[in-house]
Structure 1
Amino acid sequence: MDGAKSKNYPFIITPIKKIVGNRLPSKREVLGYFLYFPNVNKKTISVSASMCATHLIEIWSKTNILIKHTCHIVTRIKKLHTKWMNVNKNKNRISTTQNNDEAAFVESLNYLFDISLANALNSDLSKEEKDFLVTQREMDCSRTVIPNFKKVIPKNTRSNNKKVIEFKELERRTGKKLESLSSTDDSSHNTSHSEFECDIEKPTTSKTRLKIMTPHLTSALDRTNVSNRNATYILAAILTNSDTEIKDVSISKDTIRRARISDRKIISEEILNLFKPHCTLMVTLGLHSDGKMLPSDKKYVVDRLAVIVSVDGNTKLLGVP
């Protein structure tokens, strides 16, 4: 116990507000900057890792070295934090394994937190930049300063600039053509305008597909307890044997589902409209009741009473109490 109380903890990290200096940060600096957000600003782990990754990208942008995507940088920061948490959790344990883990982790903290691509050395870097990256990966980076590299425009940026220039040139030519059209007389204007329209492709409108879902079909599918997916198979088989092309008919699962919902509303409204006895006249309503074996909420069948009313040859189910 005395040895545990007097044990040193060199892996304890102090939160730092900002990574200072003109050098690529080490794992200790990244971990300290990351811990500043949850410990001081009370941010979540995910938000803290994202903010730390943004600052790392700003630092590495001083070089021409290709770096990983932001999501992969965030993952590496979280892994470093998890490893530190595991070592810190067992700091009071006295064992050879714990001592070796602590020594290896403390030694790794002084090395570079590398976010460069694995094939960064195969990219279009100068010899000085490649030597700098190799040195950073192999030795302690606490005293290595970032050299003043010549800033290189990425290839994708060059292509984007080229596209912008081409678009502006096309816009300029189109503007001149429109000005020439407006300056001509009516006859030449009509001719030039028609020629100009020929150069522009007219948008093609998609062919409207046929809808075969009807309230009667919806009622039949509901009575037979056919699902939307199975209804797609059935309708596709029927259309295959008919003269109608399947590609010209809308029979997707979602289309059938929306059509059945709409048709059920139509059927419900028709039922309500049909069953409207004239209240101003003396109308005799017939009340019927009969026992039915129906399933209950507890997954077994019970005897329930169905109440039905009839008038003018029409019947209406009032409820099953």
Structure 2
Amino acid sequence: MACSTRKSTELFLFDQPLEKFTGRQLPTGEEVLRRLYSFGCNSKSNREAVVTELVEVWVKARIPTMEIRSIKVKLESVVKKYEKLKINRKRSTNTQQAKEVHFKNELSRLFDISHKDALSSMKNKKDQAFLRDQRTERKMAMGGVDQELARKETMRMKKLARKSEMAEKEKMAKAEKFATVDLSDSSSPSSGPSSQENSPFRGETSSQVSSSPKKRLKVTPEVVSALDRTNLSDRKATHLLQTVASSSGLTPASRSTLRRSRMMTRTALAEDIKTSFQEFINAEEPPLIVH
């Protein structure tokens, strides 16, 4: 069986595939690409494996990262550019050569997967300095893992997650408190015993009452105002009102119905404000308006 030579495993534009990340610095785009092709091919499972290893390095550096799906999208974008250049590698045009040089320069820099608010959310000054260095000169390197500091950082992140969860629950509870249910009976006035006695269809009336449809949860302007004040999206508001309707034995409003009600209420409110303002400025002695 023939052994593979160094030349046969060499990558287009780069050196050999990378067996593992060093862990001393945050990987560059070139290192990420070389690590991917060390698995043999560009497949979804291989990309996911590289993303997992990449995130582990950033976690070790205690730097917040973007969401996993965003990292995958970023990696896929780099791979597509690489594969396109690879297909056209036999072209000796100036344009092709310029694209290859530009691509190599791009990948020589940090493959940045930090969260958009990473620097502002990091409390440790050394960690902040390390991220800035990795984005520019790349002279710093990570030492051993400080277990105590890592433990404190983990606790801090869990605490922030709990606070975020509590804030979301408080927002939902506030909206539920303001949500009002119109329980007025929209059916015809209920018949008393005397009317039932005079009706020749007493048995059918009893059956009709028992099988009457559920009352529908009405989305009143007060409900819309409460949802807007708590800044709930249509999806979250629908979920909330469905829960309220279910616990009250009512038929919930659909998301489209809620959306129309919110738009109509906002339009009506805007017209009321506009009308009031016109009456205000058209008064016999209108007040001065300072801009």
TM-score (norm 1): 0.43
Question: Per residue, is there more helix in 1 or in 2?
Answer: 2
Q: Which has the higher contact order (CA 8 A, sep 6+)?
A: 2
TM-score under structure 2 normalisation? Answer: 0.47
Higher strand share: 1
* Largest Rg, 1 or 2: 1
